[in-house]
């Protein structure tokens, strides 16, 4: 199975997590691409790959800077995501209760509205916790792979 790990980041945390997830996935396949959302064309999303999206939250529940160009391109020419499967991992801070992890939810809503299907639990990291973001993501990944039917 091919994997595409996409990340949207403001300060670099999502990129680090995406790289760690990519490295973990490369332990079982060499068909892994890790890319910044700002460098990824939404029209290139196809059912040929399983997508893992890692996205932080900025400001008042907004997308981080590197996810904005992707969202704008997505909205300008809505892609048909029928048959696309993906997993979502959001970053936020529960101190900001109303907007916690909303950055990732902006992407999640776009994907599902266009026919993509989220697989497994919605992963989240809380910046108010003492947990390291990559550790939380790496603990989350096996459940997603199992739900996706990927052999361990």
Q: Can you tell me the mean pLDDT for 103-114?
A: 97
State pTM to two decimals: 0.95
The fraction of the chain above a pLDDT of 70, given in percent, is 99
Q: Can you tell me the mean pLDDT for 106-119?
A: 98
Residue ranges of E strands in the chain: 2-8, 32-36, 49-55, 85-92, 117-118, 123-126
Q: What value does the mean pLDDT of the chain take?
A: 94
* Cα-Cα end-to-end distance for the chain: 12
Distances in Å between the alpha carbon of 8 and those of 76, 85, 89? 18, 18, 11
Higher-scoring residue by pLDDT: 152, 56: 56
Burial class (CB in 10 A: 0-12, 13-18, 19+), 45: buried
Q: Can you tell me the mean pLDDT for 101-119?
A: 96
Radius of gyration of the chain from Cα atoms?
14
- Tell me the sheet residues that pair with 50: 3, 85
pLDDT score, position 59: 85
pLDDT score, position 104: 95
Give residue 152's pLDDT band: very low, low, confident or very high (50, 70, 90). Answer: low
Q: Can you tell me the mean pLDDT for 45-66?
A: 94
Sign of the C-alpha dihedral computed for residues 124, 128, 132 and 134 taken in this order: positive
Q: Can you tell me the mean pLDDT for 36-42?
A: 97
Residue 97 has pLDDT above 90, yes or no: no
Q: Can you tell me the mean pLDDT for 73-91?
A: 97
What DSSP state is assigned to residue 44? G
| Domains in the chain, CATH or no CATH each | 2-147 (3.40.50.360)
């Amino acid at each position: 199975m091919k994997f595409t790990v996409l990340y949207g980041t403001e300060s670099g945390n999502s990129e680090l997590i995406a790289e760690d997830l990519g490295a973990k996935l490369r332990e079982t396949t060499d068909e892994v691409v890790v890319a910044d959302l700002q460098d990824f064309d939404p029209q290139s999303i196809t059912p040929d790959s399983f997508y893992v999206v890692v996205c932080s939250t900025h400001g008042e529940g907004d997308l981080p800077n590197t996810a904005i160009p992707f969202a704008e391109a997505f909205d300008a020419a809505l892609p048909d995501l029928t048959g696309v499967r993906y997993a979502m991992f959001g970053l936020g801070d529960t101190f900001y209760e109303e907007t916690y992890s909303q950055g990732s939810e902006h992407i999640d809503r776009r994907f599902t509205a266009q026919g993509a299907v989220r697989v497994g639990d919605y992963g989240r990291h809380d910046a108010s916790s003492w947990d390291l973001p990559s550790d939380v993501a790496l603990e989350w990944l096996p459940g997603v792979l199992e739900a996706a039917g990927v052999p361990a």
